[in-house]
């Protein structure tokens, strides 16, 4: 949800300060179609892979390969819009944590801060190949899902530094892209 909110905030701030939707429509990016496929797919993949009966190991490796492609596309556009490099860094940090641990570790403390019972969170991990409980042997703990995002129930989440960088990068791209058109 934080990604969607960042994009909406970037757009609203741009429109409030003289930006225009027509400018973002004219924004041309290398691999644009790949971005349009991979950005939503990375969010939908855990449920999609489960529905397709794909095993956890294959699901995680598939997700990592998708993210490598997404990082490559974002970096190929970073000279045009530097904030896309921030988004790529966010994805790369998430990939590193997942690759080192086999899944994204989630802090039970952060989950509890949002009012979610630990037993409920643990039950959710049983059906999610990309997330696991943060443990004593977790690698790259500071980059795991350890940041509680409070708010209404539909908006609450536990996110990582990588998630925040990805959200800032894409929200920033929408803001900058709708402010001015580059040929």
- Tell me the average confidence (pLDDT) per consecutive run of 10 residues in the chain, 183 residues long: 90 93 88 90 86 90 94 94 96 96 95 90 86 95 95 88 96 91 53
CA distance 38 to 87: 13
Phi-psi group of 6: left, alpha or beta (phi > 0 → left; psi -120 to 50 → alpha; rest → beta): alpha
- What pLDDT score was predicted for residue 8? 94
- What pLDDT score was predicted for residue 85? 97
DSSP H or E segment with residue 106: strand 104-106
- 126-172 pLDDT tens trace: 878 889 999 999 999 999 999 999 988 888 899 999 999 999 999 99
Residue 59 in 3-state DSSP?
helix
Token output for 47: 């449920």
- What pLDDT score was predicted for residue 173? 94
- What pLDDT score was predicted for residue 1? 73
Q: Where are the domains of the chain?
A: 2-179
- What pLDDT score was predicted for residue 183? 45
Q: Provide the CA 79 distance to its chain's centre, in angstroms.
A: 21
- What pLDDT score was predicted for residue 7? 92
- What pLDDT score was predicted for residue 181? 61
- What pLDDT score was predicted for residue 182? 54
CB 169 within 8 A of CB 85: yes
């Amino acid at each position: 949800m934080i990604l969607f909110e960042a994009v909406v905030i970037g757009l609203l701030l741009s429109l409030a300060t003289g930006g225009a939707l027509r400018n973002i429509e004219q924004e041309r990016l290398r691999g644009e179609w790949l971005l349009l496929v991979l950005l939503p797919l990375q969010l939908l993949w855990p449920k999609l892979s489960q529905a397709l009966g794909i095993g956890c190991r294959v699901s995680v490796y598939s997700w990592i390969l998708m993210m490598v492609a997404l990082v490559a596309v974002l970096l190929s556009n970073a000279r045009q819009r530097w904030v896309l490099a921030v988004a790529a860094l966010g994805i790369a940090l998430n990939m590193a944590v997942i690759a080192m641990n086999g899944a994204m570790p989630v802090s039970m403390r952060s989950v509890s801060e949002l009012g979610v019972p630990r037993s409920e969170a643990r039950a959710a991990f049983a059906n999610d190949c990309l997330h696991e409980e943060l443990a004593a042997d977790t690698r790259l703990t500071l980059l795991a899902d350890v940041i509680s995002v409070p708010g209404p129930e539909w908006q609450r989440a536990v996110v990582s530094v990588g998630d925040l960088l990805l959200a800032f990068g894409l929200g920033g791209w929408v803001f900058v892209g709708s402010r001015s058109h580059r040929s």
